[in-house]
Amino acid sequence: MGRFRDLTVLITGAAGGFGLKLARRFAAEGANLVLSDLDAGRLDEATAAFDTPVATLAGNVANESLSQDLVALAFERFGRLDVAVNNAGIVHDFMKLPQTPSDVARRVFEVDLLGMFFALKHQIPALERQFRDKALPGAIVNMASVAGIAGAPKLGVYAAAKHGVVGLTRSAAAECATKGVRINAVCPSFARTAMVTGILGSDNPAGEAELTRGVPMRRLAETDEIAEVVLFAADPKNSFMTGQTLAADGGITAI
């Protein structure tokens, strides 16, 4: 029997990368899924082969209405919401802060930080109400980054947004600590996702070596490795951990 059997799990950014890997892992653990992504076509294609109950809704997390509609969809389709994984995010190209275009900075903040705020704003009351009325605890896992707990030269705006995600996570976790809702953040370093390979280009071992030069393990993370940390944070048995930033970074923050 899976850890998440008959539980409802909401995942944003679910059409690829961490999001799709997580959807598959939660499905394998018996969860019902509510999945969202900006790209409706990729979302439909990615979820077509799922043999677990799935509800999908495409949209932009920078629009508050999407977060509200996803919570409503979970309750309309499955009658409950147990886990939310706020995974959707973007990154900008490597550039020093003064060279970062203001419209790029605004877009990153809108998606990565304001989008996270919208998600928490609508998920928390629903989970608190469910705990109050039915004694069903809930968990929220926010995808931050090692750039959210350390400096990230040439990724300053992205780092600022992810520091904000960590701040939201810790603050909200303290507010919800007695209300049946656990909130934690996972902070990966560079992983083998389309976001990173898009920066590196294809078949670029020299670029990969340069990117991981400051990683003690000297490699990219694999999506399964990060997914394992997310499932650990979301696991109902992990019931006394909240407000934490779980660094899955190959040892970066150890030095």
Catalytic residue positions, numbered: 158
**Length of the chain, in residues:** 255
Closest CA to 18 of 144, 123, 106, 139: 144
- Report whether 70 contacts 10 (CB < 8 A): yes
Alpha-carbon torsion, ordered 224, 41, 54, 133, to 10 deg: 90
Closest CA to 247 of 193, 207, 191: 191
**Angle between helix 156-176 and 115-134 (nearest 10):** 20
Question: Rg of the chain over CA atoms, in angstroms?
Answer: 17
At 237, which amino acid appears?
A: K
Q: Residue written as tokens 């439909």? A: 44
Q: Residue written as tokens 């979301």? A: 234
- Report whether 199 contacts 168 (CB < 8 A): no
Sort strands 181-188 and 83-86 into parallel, antiparallel or unpaired. unpaired
Q: Residue written as tokens 């802060």? A: 97
Secondary structure class of 145 (helix, strand, coil)? coil
